[in-house]
């Protein structure tokens, strides 16, 4: 990761020429748990190519999809100690590493997609990305991950329908609390284990955006997707604080700009992919329903009061994002 800066003396015959300074390229591995067809891969490919361009060829980012380098939790641990440069996680998983990311896990926080974007791009959104520095990583940018809804072997029309169901959640305290308030039994599992868990009945239901049905093939084993849109939890691109600190200022700027641009590229990709994946899910035989959201909203309201008491700092972030 060290930058070798040197003046390369070229001696041609008796004439000594001094060439431009040369820098050793910095190669960074980036791990994520989606497959090559997922929009997040495409956003990252564009980020990698822009980072290379903006750093005059100095920054080389190699993307490892499909959790080849470990699931999100394992990748994050490697990022924390600098053994891995970058990873994509999401705000739910990151809450276990650094509390402020939990602000995004509050249900029914945003009124619409533009509100969600205003929050990610706000000072509060940016402060969350920086807040994890003491935990060994920094967030570079957010990626749209739509909104999350329940999918199961039956339609979920109200919290009543979740009673007694084992529902897979991400390893996130907020997700656990939300499912309990809705009457289900939260079962934390890594994403890679979920297909088999649904297939074998280890869990009865899960919740995610609809790429889970198609790109992760969960629609093969669960045929009802109920659009209650309880949360909008962004994916987060993170970099090891050690690696970041080892980059030159120019490379830091290049990487940050490339990451910012890829977030806006993802905004377009996501809208397009969401429409396409919905059609594909319907072709797989998944039935969509659109429950009344009010009963879900009422059930999870205590999360706001609990957070205000248990963590005023995170509550403050939630409150500011809500009003943005
Ligand atoms: C989304 C998100 C992933 C996450 C997954 C999950 O798909 O993009 O980062 O792993 O949800 O529910 O675990």
Q: Tell me, yes or no, whether 69 and 182 share the same domain.
A: no
Does some domain include residue 317? yes
Phi/psi of residue 28, each to 5°? -125, 130
Per the structure, the count of domains in the chain is 2
Ligand 1 contact via 204 beta carbon (within 6 Å): no
Mutate to test the pocket of ligand 1, among 208, 225, 230 (most ligand atoms within 8 A of CB): 208
Would 1 be classed as within a structural domain? no
User: Per the domain annotation, does 2 fall within a domain?
Assistant: no
Say what the pTM is: 0.92
Query: 284 φ, ψ to 5°?
Result: -75, -10
CA atoms within 13 A on the CB side of 60: 8
Whole-complex ipTM: 0.98
Same domain, 301 and 269: no
**33, 174, 266: residue to mutate for ligand 1 pocket, most atoms within 8 A of CB:** 33
d(CA 100, CA 212): 26
**Distance (Å) from CA 191 to ligand 1 centroid:** 6
One domain, residues 110 and 157: no
- Please choose, from the candidates 175, 235, 213, 234, the residue with its C-alpha nearest in 3D space to the C-alpha of residue 31: 235
Beta bridge partners of 235: 90, 143
Per-residue pLDDT of the chain (324 residues; tens, 9 = 90+): 444 444 344 334 334 444 555 557 899 999 999 999 999 999 999 999 999 999 999 999 999 999 999 999 999 999 999 999 999 999 999 999 999 999 999 999 999 999 999 999 999 999 999 999 999 999 999 999 999 999 999 999 999 999 999 999 999 999 999 999 999 999 999 999 999 999 999 999 999 999 999 999 999 999 999 999 999 999 999 999 999 999 999 999 999 999 999 999 999 999 999 999 999 999 999 999 999 999 999 999 999 999 999 999 999 999 999 999
Task: Check whether residue 165 and residue 248 sit in a common domain.
Answer: no
Residue 24: how many CB atoms within 10 A of its CB? 12
Residues 107 and 16 in one domain: yes
User: Are 123 and 182 in the same domain?
Assistant: no
- One domain for residues 208 and 89: no
Q: What is the pLDDT of residue 51?
A: 98
């Amino acid at each position: 990761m060290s930058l070798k800066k040197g003046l390369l003396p070229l001696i041609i015959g008796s004439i000594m020429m001094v060439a431009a300074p040369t820098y050793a390229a910095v190669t960074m591995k980036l791990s994520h748990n989606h497959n090559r067809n997922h929009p997040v891969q495409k956003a990252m490919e564009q980020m990698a190519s822009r980072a290379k361009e903006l750093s005059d060829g100095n920054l080389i980012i190699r993307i490892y999809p499909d959790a080849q380098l470990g699931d999100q939790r394992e990748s994050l641990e490697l990022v924390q100690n600098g053994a891995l440069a970058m990873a994509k996680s999401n705000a739910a998983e990151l809450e276990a590493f650094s509390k402020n990311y939990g602000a995004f896990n509050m249900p029914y926080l945003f009124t619409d997609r533009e509100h969600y974007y205003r929050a990610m791009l706000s000072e509060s959104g940016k402060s969350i990305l920086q807040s994890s520095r003491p935990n060994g990583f920094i967030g570079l940018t957010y990626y749209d991950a739509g909104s999350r809804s329940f999918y199961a072997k039956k339609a979920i029309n109200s919290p009543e329908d979740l009673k007694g169901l084992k529902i897979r959640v991400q390893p996130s305290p907020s997700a656990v609390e939300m499912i309990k308030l809705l009457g289900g039994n939260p079962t934390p599992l890594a994403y890679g284990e979920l297909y088999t868990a649904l297939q074998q009945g280890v869990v009865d239901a899960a919740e995610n955006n609809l790429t889970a049905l198609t790109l992760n093939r969960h629609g093969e084993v669960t045929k009802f997707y109920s659009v209650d849109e309880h949360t909008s939890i962004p994916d987060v691109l993170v970099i090891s604080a050690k690696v970041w600190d080892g980059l030159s200022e120019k490379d830091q700027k290049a990487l940050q700009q490339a990451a910012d641009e890829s977030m806006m590229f993802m905004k377009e990709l996501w809208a397009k992919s969401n429409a396409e994946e919905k059609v594909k899910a319907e072709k797989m035989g998944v039935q969509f329903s659109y429950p009344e959201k009010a009963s879900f909203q009422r059930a999870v309201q205590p999360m706001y009061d609990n957070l205000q008491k248990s963590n005023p700092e995170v509550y403050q972030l939630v409150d500011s994002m809500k009003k943005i």
